[in-house]
Structure 1
Amino acid sequence: MRRVPLPLVLAAGVLLLLTSCGSSRADDGDEGRMPGAPTGVTAQAGSATTVHVMWNAVPDGTGIRSYEVYRGGTKAVEVPGAERMVDVIGLRPSTAYAFTVRARDSAGRLGPPSRAVRARTPARVAADRSAPARPGTLTGHPVGSRAVQLAWGASRDDRGVVSYDIAQGGTRIHSVGGAQTATVVTGLRPGTRYVFTVRARDAAGNLSPASAALRLTTPGTDDGRATSPTGFTAATHRADGAYYLDLAWDPPEAGGVITEYAIRLDGSTATSLEWGGDPPRGRARYSFYLGRTAGEEHRVRLRARLPDGTWGGWSAERTVVTGR
């Protein structure tokens, strides 16, 4: 975990989730069952040596601990249960591959494999340092309150475009094939403003400049309560003559991995918390320096940067006094 010292001005705001990265919650009656096979699995070559695999969340009463992605009969990669996509790397150019995905629940039980999906990596292009041209105008419109449809002009490359990367808020959220110039993004929040861009990728992995940004707002309203951290507590402790603020909370159920939080102190001073690697699963905890004076009152709250690239709702505000 990387701790960022106070004060730090927060920059304006994994992963946004698409059709193949949706989430759902199991009914209580599912407890005790082996997890089912993932659905909505897709595979798309991202370069001559990588394939991007995505899938839907598996409902399970006990919780999904991880997903295992198989290349043929060999496990290629395992990701935490909150993730719904991964790049399988180290592949051979000009090779056809079949991928399946299996879910493992918190009890350690491994579910059946998904249907197999196939992708073929393109030929390797030697000494290609020329990036594709910027994609054409990006357009789109909301499709209901939780999805948008996007389309863009094809990019040009001297040796061919292999894939397009779609980003939201600066974070890559999806990849589609080089012959595809449209997609539907789902898993969004009602009444929320989004910023999308598209970049083209060639077989050597060279990326084009990003397209012009497209700003869309989904219809409806969202008061943020469903995306707020819950069970938020704050306390102080003293060590080596200084006081520290101790925070604990349960991450919101956002259908993906949350790696960053904004912490608001006394209504104006803010610090940023970002985990490297795997973020905590379940209840999270964080402490930071307040000062050496006893009897100081502080107000604190926090919010998460959601997998769709937007900020969620603020937690309840807590008040602490150093030395008490």
Structure 2
Amino acid sequence: MRRIPAPASRRRRALGRVVALCVAASALLTACGRSAADDGDAGRMPGAPTGVTATAGSATSVHVMWNAAAAASDIAGYEVYQGTAKAKKVKDVPASERMVDITRLSPSTTYVFTVRARDTEGRLGPPSRSVRVTTPAAVADRSAPSRPLGVRGRVMGSRIVQLSWSPSEDDRKVVSYEIHQSGTKIHSVGGNQTAAVITGLRPGTRYSFTVRARDAADNFSPASAPVRLTTAPGSDDGRATAPSAFRATAHRKDGSYYLDLSWVPPRVDGVVTQYQIQLDGQPATSLVWGGTAPREKASYSFYIGREAGVTHRVRIRAMLPDGTWGAFSPERTVTTGRP
């Protein structure tokens, strides 16, 4: 028997119920029916930066990174604070940057950092969640790590590239790797990583990247051989930034139907904390992780109505650490009441 599609009016009622009744999972803060970037309240302060991470760069320095904050007006800059109850501001960072090195720290010491956004109207948003990091012990070490070898690059679209390299050797331990663009440091990853994803680039532009290794005693390796990459022209769909392994099913409980989604977050440096779900061609739900965002597999379920035989199309996209939306996942089709 051929299933007859639900009338448009019934589909609109079902979608309306989704927007009105989407529910928050215990680990999520959910804004229904619109993305954070669409909040047009001119009186709203900047949001708290998400995806904040802190990684020891050496025994006396820490590299702090965060995602772009949402705001009703333009972001003018970010303020980085150190401490808990009486946190003190330690850095001012321009809006074009979302990372900073905190230096002159003590070895073998645990530090706590938070970040706040400031908009062009001078309003200061709430602090991000706090992150803790412990600097390694100081060592008497005058030997620099070896030069990173085998550096390779891959263009992932018009504004994103991926770099990878072979591990450097050190008589003690490599604590971090620094990525430089035309001689200027633009990124840092932990010493256990041998890859980095660089976002926020310009379309159709040629870039030159090098990598340096750093140990706990602040010894730097020689720069790697340069990797020259040209981003794709125009504005592409950035497929490499789409969530992968996207699945959608429906289940019935207490007379109602729920849409169950699962996906693997896109592989980017930084933490993806925000997603937008599109249902039947319209934004239905925005998800913002309030706790620790998943890196390997994410899932979410929400109410879609009480009627069987209603077919929905669904897809999802992620807010990247540079504050731009990534590509949508492939679209999936789900019909309520169908085994």
* TM-score interval (norm. to shorter): 0.5 to 0.7
Equivalent-residue separation in structure 2 for 1:110 and 1:120 (angstroms): 28
* Structure 1, 206-215 or 77-86: larger mean CA deviation: 77-86
* Map of 1:109 onto structure 2: 123
CA 1:30–1:82 in 2, change beyond 3 Å: closer, same or farther?
A: farther
CA distance in 1, matches of 2:198, 2:120: 29
Equivalent position amino acid for 1:206 in 2: N
- Structure 1 position 68 matched with structure 2 position 79: yes
Match of 2:40, SS state, is: helix
Tell me how far apart the structure 2 counterparts of residues 158 and 72 of structure 1 sit (CA, whole Å): 33
Identity among equivalent pairs (%):
69
* Aligned pairs for 1:41-60 within 5 A: 41-60=52-71
Q: Tell me, in whole angstroms, the C-alpha distance in 1 between the residues paired with 2:203 and 2:97.
A: 22
The residue type paired with residue 55 of structure 1 is W
Q: Which residue does 1:169 correspond to in 2?
A: 182
Q: CA deviation at 1:69?
A: 1.1
Q: In 2 relative to 1, CA 111–192 (structure 1 residues): closer, same or farther, beyond 3 Å?
A: same
Cα drift, residue 80 of structure 1:
3.2
TM-score scaled to structure 2, two decimals?
0.55
**Equivalences for residues 133-148 of structure 1 within 5 A:** 133-148=146-161
Deviation by residue 1:252-271 (Cα, 9 ceiling, x = unmatched): xxxxxxxxxxxxxxxxxxxx
Matching of residues 1-324 of structure 1 within 5 Å: 29-73=40-84, 74-75=87-88, 76-126=90-140, 128-221=141-234
In structure 1, how many angstroms separate the alpha carbons of the residues matched to 2:230 and 2:186? Answer: 18
Structure 2 distance, partners of 1:196, 1:123, is 30
1:56-108 superposed Cα distances (whole Å, 9 cap, x missing partner) = 22232333333221222222222333432211122111122222111122333
**Distance verdict in 2 for CA 1:96–1:214, change over 3 Å:** same
Q: Distance in 1 between matches of 2:200 and 2:77?
A: 20
Take 2:95 and 2:207, find their aligned partners in 1: how far apart are those partners?
Answer: 25
Which secondary structure state, in structure 2, belongs to the residue aligned with residue 30 of structure 1? Answer: coil
Q: Which residue in the other structure is 2:327 paired with?
A: none
Alpha-carbon RMSD: 2.3
Match of 1:87, SS? strand
Task: Output the CA distance in 2 between the equivalents of 1:31 and 1:60.
Answer: 9
Shift of 1:187: 0.9
TM-aligned CA deviation for residue 26 of structure 1: 5.8
C-alpha distance in structure 2 between counterparts of 1:28 and 1:97, whole Å: 34
Q: Which amino acid aligns with 2:60?
A: T
Q: In structure 2, how many angstroms separate the alpha carbons of the residues matched to 1:77 and 1:166?
A: 21
Distance change in 2, residues 1:69/1:125 (3 Å): same
How many residue pairs end up in the alignment? 199
Residue 28 of structure 1: how far off its partner (Å):
8.1
- Contact 2:45/2:72 (CA < 8 Å) preserved in 1? no
Q: Hey, what's the Cα distance between the residues in 2 that align with 1:143 and 1:60?
A: 28
Q: How many Å apart are 1:185 and its aligned residue?
A: 0.8
Distance apart, 1:133 and its partner CA: 0.7
Q: Secondary structure at the match of 2:208?
A: strand
Structure 2 CA distance for partners of 1:108 and 1:152, relative to 1, 3 Å: same
> Which residue identity does 1:51 align to in structure 2?
V
Pair 65,148 (structure 1): closer, same or farther in 2 beyond 3 Å: closer
Post-superposition Cα deviations, 1:35-73, rounded to whole Å, max 9, x if no partner, equal 100122221111111101122222323333332212222
**Structure 1: which 5+ residue stretches go unaligned?**
1-24, 223-324
Deviation at 1:212, TM superposition (A): 0.9
Q: Does the aligned pair in 1 maintain the 2:48–2:117 contact within 8 Å?
A: yes
Deviation string, structure 1 residues 122-163 (Cα, Å, up to 9, x no partner): 11112x222111012101211122111111010011111110
Match of 1:304 in 2: none
Q: 1:316 maps to which residue?
A: none
C-alpha separation between the residues in 1 aligned to 2:96 and 2:161?
23
